[in-house]
């Protein structure tokens, strides 16, 4: 039997790596036998994971592969000397730039027996440090960050242990204490309890591992940030700025595939009636006693086939946990939309809507009823007697887009007047206007800023980013997007009493529909109880009951309430226009901006720098209520 020859890590291989690092170039190399070295740029740290069990399918190396500087390598004894040489040379090279260097090795607890008295899924970490070390503050920062890790409501147990050697059991240290001292670098070890692996059956729980990876990665970055600030001359502005900047090809390919699937259909167009004018006429003929029949566009995709393509997108190839989280959210939301298209016209459609857009919480319902009671249905704010038609409004929309082109000349967004649209909407960055639309002059600028200054603008800004998901819309983006759009109406003095009553009525209609009310029930309540004209009541009910029941219209008021609270707490508006994002994505977007994965947005709304906007933002930070938005439009 011939013994298998293991390829060496050659001096030439190491020389090439160190030459690139000295020139501050990215390094990404596959190691012989098993493993990879990834160093994004010159950084004063290196994460290490050595696989002790051959053919380990737990993917435990994922605990560190989202970092900007990592080495995953085999635990094969025949390669340990070569790996040690590689690490030593990397430390020597990068220490020249930073004056100090940190090696942090991660390994798993081999025997889970020591945790037998602990809850099954309680995370646990043991930090190993030298008896004498100059980086105690870094170690305490790491311990504090790890204590904040919480999985399934279980806070992590963290222990700090002094050790004469730092390495996984059964493996020699990558650097001895003497070598580390001679090099002027520091070593920390972290033993991780693998709560994502059943102690007896060895079954893997991938969602637990993913959750642990995200939280563990944040703790590591806090550790590296403290080390960098205290022990090197480098001054990163934020701990997230030490994250990855370069992306593997899989990221861009997966982003492209998901964007292509998104761009093949427009969900709202597919679920919105095409015969609203004829349906209204029939409703009138039937003396408002018979629910109208709506017709819809033929589906432009086969939802079942689209689902198949959707789940063939290999998101598991993405190393970066933040981007993987974004793409998984997108994948799941698209899946729900395809299911809703399959269920179009049935009661099941409404249940899908509840998953996608949420239900109506009691506080939002109470607030909506209060608005309907306090704001008069006989307001004359929009009743000037003057209005513009679809063609005139399209001309104004084109003017706003032309203003955008002064900054971004390459944009191709269009304004289109169509017979099969009953109102206004933005689809794939284009403004679609119903040919029969009449708009009161008091509402023109408000609608321009709603549709063009928010929806079109965030589409353009999203297209300026390297990730396509920022323009197609991240999962759940509608709530924040519509909140921004309504707020823009307030900023240009276009948020009228009738408009606010309309937004409140949409919430009430959705809640009643969820509770079992019929189209006629909702129409009558809006008309008889809340004082809406018959056509307005019909239009609200149509939007609510379209395709079987759509709760999306509640996001306008909910998004506005959410946005007011965000501003009151000191949140800045400008970062929200980077693309189509949800409130949950704000910290993620900020992280990607710190990491320089995302670029500054090229456009900002035209009203942003006016003295009026500055004053209104001051009022909002002081906590204006929804009613006060109407009373203090100034």
Residue 340 has a pLDDT of 98
Task: Please tell me whether residue 587 adopts helix, strand or coil conformation.
Answer: helix
Segment 312-341, tens digit of pLDDT: 999 999 999 999 999 999 999 999 999 999
Segment 54-82, tens digit of pLDDT: 777 788 999 999 999 999 999 988 899 99
Neighbours of 349 (CB within 10 A): 20
Dihedral sign (CA 241, 242, 245, 250): negative
Task: Break the chain into its structural domains and give their ranges.
Answer: 11-244, 359-631
From the number of C-beta atoms within 10 Å of its C-beta (0-12, 13-18, 19+), residue 131 rates as exposed
Q: Are 60 and 208 in contact (CB under 8 A)?
A: no
Segment 160-179, tens digit of pLDDT: 999 999 999 989 999 999 99
Residue 549 has a pLDDT of 98
> Can you give the pTM of this predicted structure?
0.90
Residue 495 has a pLDDT of 93
Residue 35 has a pLDDT of 93
406, pLDDT greater than 80: yes
| Out of 114-118, 258-262, 380-384, 422-426, least confident range | 380-384
Segment 413-424, tens digit of pLDDT: 999 999 888 889
Q: How far apart are CA 509 and CA 271, in angstroms?
A: 18
Residue 6 has a pLDDT of 55
Residue 3 has a pLDDT of 46
Task: Please tell me whether residue 204 adopts helix, strand or coil conformation.
Answer: strand
Q: How far apart are the first and last CA of the chain?
A: 90
Q: How far apart are CA 46 and CA 36, in angstroms?
A: 13
Give how far Cα 177 sits from Cα of 87, 96, 164, 216, Å: 14, 20, 8, 26
Segment 272-288, tens digit of pLDDT: 999 999 999 999 999 99
DSSP state of 197: B
8, pLDDT greater than 60: yes
Segment 92-131, tens digit of pLDDT: 999 999 999 999 999 999 876 778 788 989 999 999 999 9
Dihedral of CA atoms 120, 122, 126, 127 in degrees, nearest 10, equals 160
Give how far Cα 271 sits from Cα of 288, 300, 350, Å: 23, 12, 12
Q: How far apart are CA 306 and CA 321, in angstroms?
A: 25
Segment 465-490, tens digit of pLDDT: 999 999 999 999 999 999 999 999 99
The CATH class, in words, for 11-244 is alpha beta
Q: Are 451 and 391 in contact (CB under 8 A)?
A: no
């Amino acid at each position: 039997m011939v013994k298998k020859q293991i390829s060496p890590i050659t001096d030439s291989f190491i020389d090439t790596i160190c030459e690139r690092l000295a020139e501050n170039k990215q390094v990404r190399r596959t190691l012989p036998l098993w493993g990879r070295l990834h160093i994004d740029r010159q950084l004063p740290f290196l994460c290490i994971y050595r696989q002790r069990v051959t053919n380990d399918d737990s993917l435990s190396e994922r605990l560190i592969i989202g970092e900007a500087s990592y080495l995953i390598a085999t635990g094969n004894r025949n390669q340990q000397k070569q790996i040690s040489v590689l690490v030593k040379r990397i430390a020597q090279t990068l220490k020249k730039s930073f004056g100090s260097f940190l090696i942090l090795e991660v390994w798993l607890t081999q025997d889970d027996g020591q945790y037998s008295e602990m809850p099954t899924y309680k995370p646990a970490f043991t930090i190993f440090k030298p008896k004498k070390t100059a980086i105690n503050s870094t170690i305490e920062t790491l311990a504090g960050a790890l204590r904040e890790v919480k999985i399934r409501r279980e806070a992590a147990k963290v222990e700090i242990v002094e050790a004469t050697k730092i390495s996984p059991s059964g493996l020699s240290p990558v650097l001895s204490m003497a070598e580390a001292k001679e090099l002027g670098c520091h070593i920390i070890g972290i033993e991780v309890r693998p709560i994502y692996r059943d102690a007896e059956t060895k079954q893997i729980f991938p969602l637990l591992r993913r959750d642990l990876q995200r939280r563990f990665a944040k703790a590591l970055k806090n550790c590296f940030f403290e080390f960098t600030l205290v022990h090197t001359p480098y001054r990163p502005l934020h701990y997230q700025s030490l994250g990855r900047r370069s992306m593997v090809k899989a990221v861009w390919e997966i982003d492209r595939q998901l964007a292509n699937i998104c761009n093949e259909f427009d969900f709202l167009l597919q679920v919105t009636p095409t015969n609203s004018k004829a349906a209204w006429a029939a409703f009138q003929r039937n003396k408002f006693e018979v629910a109208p029949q709506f017709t819809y566009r033929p589906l432009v995709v086969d939802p079942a086939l689209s689902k198949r393509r959707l789940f063939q997108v290999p998101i598991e190839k993405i190393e970066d946990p933040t981007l993987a989280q974004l793409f998984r959210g997108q994948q799941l939301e698209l899946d729900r939309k395809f299911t809703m298209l399959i269920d179009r016209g049935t009661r099941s459609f409404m249940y899908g809507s509840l998953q996608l857009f949420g239900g109506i919480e009691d506080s939002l319902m109470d607030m909506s009823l209060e608005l309907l009671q306090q704001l008069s249905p006989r307001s004359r704010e929009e009743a000037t007697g003057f209005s513009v038609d679809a063609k005139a409004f399209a001309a104004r929309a084109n003017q706003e887009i032309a203003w955008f082109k002064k900054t971004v000349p390459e944009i191709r967004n269009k304004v289109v007047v169509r017979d099969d649209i009953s109102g206004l909407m933005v689809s794939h960055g284009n403004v679609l206007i119903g040919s029969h639309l009449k708009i009161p002059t008091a509402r023109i600028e408000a609608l321009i800023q709603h549709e063009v200054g928010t929806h079109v603008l965030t589409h353009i800004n999203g297209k300026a980013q390297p990730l396509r998901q920022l323009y197609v819309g991240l999962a759940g983006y509608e709530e924040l997007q519509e909140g921004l759009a309504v707020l823009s109406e307030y900023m240009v003095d276009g948020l009228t009493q009738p408009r606010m009553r309309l937004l409140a009525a949409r919430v009430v209609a959705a809640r009643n529909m969820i509770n079992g009310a019929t189209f006629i029930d909702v129409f009558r309540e809006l008309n008889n109880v809340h004082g809406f004209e018959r056509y307005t009541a019909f239009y609200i009910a149509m939007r609510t009951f379209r395709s079987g029941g759509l709760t999306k219209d509640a996001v306008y008021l909910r998004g506005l309430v959410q946005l007011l609270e965000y501003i009151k707490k000191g949140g800045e508006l400008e970062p929200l226009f980077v693309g189509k994002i949800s409130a949950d994505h704000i910290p993620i977007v900020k992280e990607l901006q710190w990491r320089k994965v995302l670029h500054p947005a090229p456009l900002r709304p035209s009203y942003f720098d006016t003295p009026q906007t500055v004053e209104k933002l001051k009022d909002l930070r002081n906590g204006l209520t929804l009613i006060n938005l109407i009373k203090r439009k100034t």
